[in-house]
């Protein structure tokens, strides 16, 4: 079964991509690469990058699933963070030019690839795993559909980094402010009826930086490719912190 749709008519577009190879480049630069794309089919930005890599084999970027679930290919597309594999060219392109850069705020390893270490370090700080004190039952722990529903909009995070690297507070204090992705995960466990470490978790967040550096600018919400809402999670944690001080 051949499921490639026949495509005849082509048009050319210019991809302007950020290039940097620490092995040979002193400085990063932008490179224009012309590619031919079909007229009658909307490609994704990732497809365009793959076409560009056929000409410029050294062009480097991460990718895996190709369907927006693995979180590999977060990048800055015409000024906005997003996943290349689920961003259609028709949406992204302005005129005939597509500008693609690495996600801002993190060190660039090569071309479109950033070093995600700070991002994952912050994630680990929120103890992103279920903590229970009671012994586990023989079967599953019970949870009602209503309790489970509280995790919707939280557990779906794919750790792509689009949000944290769009957050000015994270740019300024990537080592102290946890950033929207880590805070969303923190709330994912606080909100879980099975988790028994809420107090500990709140203690860990109760300083001037970890959480309180969020100024509610909502950049994170507007870029999240999974439609999640870190700002709301952060304000839920804030409410918990305030309530327990009373």
Q: What is the CA radius of gyration of the chain?
A: 21
Please choose, out of 27-35, 69-77, 206-214, 232-240, the segment that lies near another protein by the rule CB under 8 A.
Answer: 69-77
Dihedral over Cα of 4, 82, 100, 182: its sign: negative
Size of the site for ligand FES (CB under 6 A): 12
Find the binder of ligand SF4 among 181, 182, 211, 237 (CB under 6 A): 181
Please choose, out of 10-18, 54-62, 176-184, 215-223, the segment that lies near another protein by the rule CB under 8 A.
Answer: 54-62
Find the binder of ligand FES among 16, 19, 51, 63 (CB under 6 A): 63
Angle between helices 179-190 and 117-125 (to 10 degrees): 30
Q: Is 60 in the site for ligand FES (CB under 6 A)?
A: no
DSSP string spanning 144-208? -HHHHHTTTTTTT-----TTGGG-HHHHH-TTTS-HHHHHHHHHHHHT-TT---HHHHHHHH-ST
> Minimal distance in Å, beta carbon 242 to another protein?
27
* Closer CB to another protein, 65 or 218, in the complex: 65
Angle between helices 230-245 and 198-205 (to 10 degrees): 100
Q: Is 182 in the site for ligand SF4 (CB under 6 A)?
A: no
Q: Which does 110 bind (CB under 5 to 8 A by kind): ligand SF4, another protein, ligand FES, none?
A: another protein
Cβ distance 165 to 104 under 8 Å?
yes
Q: Is 241 in the site for another protein (CB under 8 A)?
A: no
* Closer CB to ligand FES, 106 or 158, in the complex: 158
In angstroms, rounded to a whole number, what is the distance separating the alpha carbons of residues 100 and 108?
Answer: 14
Task: Return residues touching ligand FES (CB under 6 A).
Answer: 63-66, 68-73, 83, 85
């Amino acid at each position: 079964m051949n499921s490639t749709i026949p495509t005849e008519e082509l048009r050319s577009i210019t991809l302007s991509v950020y290039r940097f190879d620490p092995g040979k480049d002193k400085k990063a630069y932008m490179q224009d690469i012309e590619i031919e794309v079909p007229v009658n089919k909307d490609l994704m930005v990732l497809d365009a990058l793959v076409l560009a890599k056929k000409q410029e084999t050294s062009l480097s970027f991460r990718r895996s699933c190709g369907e927006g679930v693995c979180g590999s290919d977060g990048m800055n597309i015409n000024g906005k963070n997003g996943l290349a594999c689920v961003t259609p060219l028709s949406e992204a392109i302005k005129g005939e030019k597509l500008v693609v850069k690495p996600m801002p705020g993190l060190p660039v390893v090569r071309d479109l690839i950033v070093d995600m270490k700070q991002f994952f370090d912050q994630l680990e700080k929120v103890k992103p795993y279920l903590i229970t004190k009671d012994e586990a039952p023989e079967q599953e722990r019970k949870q009602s559909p209503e309790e489970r529903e509280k995790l919707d909009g939280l557990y779906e995070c794919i750790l792509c980094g689009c949000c944290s690297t769009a957050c000015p507070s994270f740019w300024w204090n990537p080592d102290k402010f946890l950033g929207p992705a880590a805070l969303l995960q923190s709330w994912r466990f606080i909100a879980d009826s099975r988790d028994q470490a809420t107090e500990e978790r709140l203690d860990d967040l109760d300083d001037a930086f970890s959480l309180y550096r969020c100024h509610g600018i909502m950049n994170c919400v507007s870029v999240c490719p999974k439609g999640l809402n870190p700002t709301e999670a952060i304000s839920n944690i804030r409410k918990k912190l305030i309530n327990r001080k009373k």
